[in-house]
Amino acid sequence: MKLQQLRADMARRGLDGFLVTGAENRYYMSGFTGSSGLLLITHDDALLITDFRYKEQAARQAEGYRVVVYEGQIFDAVGNVVRELGLGRLGFEAERTTYASFEGLSRALDGVAELVPTRGAVEGLRMVKSPEELEIMAEACRITDAAFDHILGFVRPGVTEKEIATELKVFMLKHDMTPSFDFIVASGARGSMPHGVASDKVVEKGDFVTLDFGGFYKRYSSDITRTVVVGKPTDEQRRIYDLVLRAQLAGVAAARAGKRGSEVDAVAREIINQAGHKEHFGHGLGHAIGLEVHENPRFSPTDSTVIQPGMVLSVEPGVYIPGWGGVRIEDLVVITDGDARVMYSSTKELIEL
Ligand code: ZN
Ligand code: ZN
């Protein structure tokens, strides 16, 4: 199925062969989890070119692929195969090939085949998740909910942001997940930094604490943000929290198949703009997620991609006020034929700890 789709795309691009070099794309297309090697896909053949270390593993994992084990330089192996198969136009992943690899390939293919840069071929296939992928991601989100529930018993005055991040990481590791990015734990005034990774700052009474974390489960990532308050919120904290929550709920409600990413972004953004906080929401509303934490399409003012059932995206508006702090609330949603389905069960009501 994936091979058929990729071949159709290759035909549209006038390619005889396609080199998959990106690690996530290689796994997505073949199931091979080794850390080196590349795929060469033609209209009637599919090869996994890798080295001796992965000989057995490649044969076991990459169903439907012919495994070619090379010695010496991988680029020479590619050159030999391309020559044997008589391929003329060979697509490569412009966004996932280093300049050094490009040089190596160019040398090996000189006078043999033309290297054609492509963008988004496999990534395009990855946008709509299969039922199996959705099931894995649902489990990732369930464990992530449990991690949030766990951390609520840990956040209190006197602990540092780093201690909170470490506690979250340990919980995830104990539950078959590996952290998929540097966790953001931003308390008090640090909350005005959308990407305030955990620091040595001590959490104090009255602080908002924004927690943004996620992990890989069976190679697929979760990503969640909740903002909690330590003690009782002030009126201003309550007002900002309610505004962000309203924008978040409106964003989820707007995330429907057939809409453009920019239209979904606009619905949530308008609510924040209307409340006079336009300059305090400086990032996109959300991003797709899967084998990577940030994938396309985006809910952003500049993404005109039409949203389709089976896509999984985040909806994460925030308000960040320098010197005061900030609030962000993030869910992952699955796009369906009807309303988007929120993948978490963690409450979005303001939690007072
Ligand atoms: Zn996040
Ligand atoms: Zn996110």
Give the chain's domain count.
2
Q: Do residues 261 and 280 both lie within one domain? A: yes
161-215 pLDDT, tens per residue?
A: 999 999 999 999 999 999 999 999 999 999 999 888 999 999 999 999 999 999 9
Instruction: Check which CATH number belongs to the domain holding 88 and give it.
Output: 3.40.350.10
Across 270-275, average pLDDT: 98
Domain hosting residue 52, numbered range: 2-126
Ligand 1 centroid vs 223 CA: distance in angstroms? 5
Q: Is position 180 within any domain?
A: yes
Across 241-262, average pLDDT: 98
Ligand 1 centroid vs 110 CA: distance in angstroms? 44
What pLDDT shows up at residue 6? 97
Ligand 1 centroid vs 228 CA: distance in angstroms? 15
Query: Which of 72, 97, 126 lies at the terminal end of a domain, its last residue?
Result: 126
Phi then psi dihedrals of residue 5, to 5 deg: -65, -45
Q: Is position 112 within any domain?
A: yes
Q: Is position 182 within any domain?
A: yes
Ligand at shortest distance from the CA of 312: 2
What pLDDT shows up at residue 29? 98
78-133 pLDDT, tens per residue?
A: 999 999 999 999 999 999 999 999 999 999 999 999 999 999 999 999 999 999 99
Q: Do residues 122 and 136 both lie within one domain? A: no
Ligand at shortest distance from the CA of 328: 1
Of 59, 218, 21, the residue nearest 132 (C-alpha)? 218
Q: Do residues 147 and 108 both lie within one domain? A: no
Sign of CA dihedral 50, 51, 53, 55: positive
Say if pTM beats, i.e. exceeds, 0.85.
yes
Burial of 200 (0-12, 13-18, 19+ CB in 10 A): exposed
| Cα(269)–Cα(279) distance, integer angstroms | 11
- For residue 300, how far is the Cα from the chain centroid? 15
**pLDDT surpasses 90 at 249:** yes
Q: Is position 347 within any domain?
A: no
What pLDDT shows up at residue 116? 98
What pLDDT shows up at residue 142? 98
Query: Which of 126, 151, 171 lies at the terminal end of a domain, its last residue?
Result: 126
Q: Do residues 118 and 136 both lie within one domain? A: no
